[in-house]
Structure 1
Amino acid sequence: MKQLLLLSHLLLGLFIPASAQIDTINPTTSKLNLAAFKESKRTYAVFFEDSTGKRLTSADLWDRTVRFSTNASGQKIYQFDWRWYRKDTLISQVSATGLAPSLAPLSHNATYHNRGDRNFIFTGNTVTIPEASRKTAKDSTFKVVMTPPAFEFPMDLEILPLLPFKKVGQQFAIAFYEPGSPTSNYYKLTVTGKEDLPISGTTKVNCWLLQIDYGQQGATATFWIADQSREVLKMREYFRGRYRYKIKLY
């Protein structure tokens, strides 16, 4: 999974030029276009190709759902569900919650086929493993203070379209945290273009092109984000010597 590749990345400040004009985004800045954060269900096909465009794998399916509700304290929260299917088998499921409108995470519960569960809770910017999920001494002592405050990285496809796009050349620094990793990080994002993306027959959708720098040499991805609907329609990512694609089906 892409997220596992990011655990040891350098902090953004180490690889962004000091002279760059960068808009810093985290749950405390209130800069996201939250009008575009709506209840939704989207399915993506995910597959690999080599540098010549030869398909290397069959496609996995990702079902991703966002719903809104209210918690016991009367706070509005989001509920995020991500189900990963491979050859009709559910190989992982992530269920997460967070506060709205800040999108600060509250909980993360993951189940992996043949690997068990990994659960985390967020108290402010502090991440721990809930007592009922602690299986080892390491689990009991696990504690991460997110510096900077960060969004949940598994929700990148839902959060990146909320950036305040205005023009080609814009740069952002967005804070993400991969549950279980030792730190949160800023990641550099650049709006590299705007183009019409063919999606079916003669139908085209005008999209912003957003590139993320993962902080390792050659580790980047480009997202095609629909200007009107503000959703990721396509992603192309360099991943371990191959190219991974995520294509929205419906």
Structure 2
Amino acid sequence: MKYLYVLLVLISSLAQAQVDTINTATLKLNLSAFKNSKRSYAVFFEDSTGKRLSSADIWDRTIRLSQTPSGQKIYEFDWKWFQKDSLLGHVTATGQLPSLAPLTHKADYAKRGKISTTFTGNNVAVSMPNRKTGQDTTFTVTLKQPAFEFPMDLEILPLLPIKKVGQQFAVAFYEPGTPAANYYRLTVTGKEDLPIGGNTNINCWLLNIDYGRPDAHATFWISDQSREVIKMREYFRGRYRYKVKLF
């Protein structure tokens, strides 16, 4: 009986350690939660003692579901990044449904310039014109895995098939303009009621992402009911960045 118990514990541990691979080809996301929506987030930094280091930027993020003239179902993503009274960045993107495979990505950042990206299968054509120097860098990337685009992490992570604490996922993301896509390890670390003011709580799953380096990681609070990110706390080089849903 003793050996049988040890064997059962070992089997249970191995089952819990299994990692579910998620990319645009696996079709494992919960698309019932991917709807027409607009969400706004306050984004700010704190040091390790909780002292606020910056005023809050505002992120307005919109998802619109539509279809092309040929009848292909697509999503349209729009992200406006406001800092004080200025538009610091504007990103638009499109992708296929139901896979969420990216089709296009265009971004205009006040400090980083423009980038235009077109996806054709696992091939990505990237154009990065520099407004200050007039130089135009164009190159092609071949992705080894069919990946989601990283700027949509707040919209994609809540769609993971989360059912219990201890689940682990490996999710493929690509940051437009970089040379490769990568898998990122995510673990469901808990479930708790998150206070949002006015004696109101939202029951949330806690999802931790490993960025592959010791000085960078983040936890997302994802509503169990609406499947949206309510809060994110990210550690990077000794300070914390927060993203908090306003409405």
Tell me the TM-score normalised to structure 2 length. Answer: 0.89
Aligned to 1:162: 159
Aligned length: 230
* Mapped partners of 1:180, 1:40: distance in 2: 27
Q: Whose RCO is larger (CA < 8 A, sep 6+)?
A: 1
Query: What one-letter code is carried by the residue in structure 1 that aligns with 2:23?
Result: N
In our comparison, the structure showing a higher alpha carbon Rg is 2
- The CA RMSD over aligned residues, in Å, is 1.9
Counterpart selection for 1:90 from 80, 87, 90 = 87
Residues 52, 130 of structure 1: CA spacing in aligned structure 2 closer, same or farther, 3 A cutoff? closer
Quote the residue 1:5 is aligned against: none
Conserved? CA contact 2:103–2:118, under 8 Å:
yes
Does residue 174 of structure 1 match 2:171? yes
Alignment of 1:101-120 (within 5 A): 101-120=98-117
Contact 2:115 2:129 in 1 (8 A): no
Q: 1:94 to 1:201 in 2, by over 3 A?
A: same
Paired residue for 2:48, among 40, 44, 51? 51
Q: Which residue of 2 aligns with 1:248?
A: 245
Q: TM-score, normalised by structure 1?
A: 0.88
Which of the pair is proportionally richer in strand? Answer: 2
Q: Structure 1 unaligned segments of length 5 or more: list them.
A: 1-16
Cα offset, 1:232, TM superposition: 0.2
The residue matched to 2:53 in structure 1 has which SS? coil
Mark the CA change 1:70 to 1:87 in structure 2 (over 3 Å): closer, same or farther: same
5+ residue gaps, structure 2: 1-13
Does structure 1 conserve the Cα–Cα contact (< 8 Å) formed by 2:117 and 2:127? yes
2:212 counterpart of 1:222: no
Residues 60-107 of structure 1 show CA distances to partners (whole Å, capped at 9, x for unaligned) of 000000001111332010000000000110010000000011000000
**Paired position in structure 2 for 1:233:** 230
- Partner letter of residue 201 of structure 1? G
What is the Cα deviation at residue 219 of structure 1? 1.0
Code of the residue aligned with 1:92 in structure 2: it is G
Match among 37, 40, 46 for residue 40 of structure 1: 37
Q: Aligned letter for 1:176?
A: F
Residue 185 of structure 1 is matched in structure 2 by 182
State the SS of the aligned residue for 2:154.
helix
Q: CA deviation at 1:248?
A: 0.2
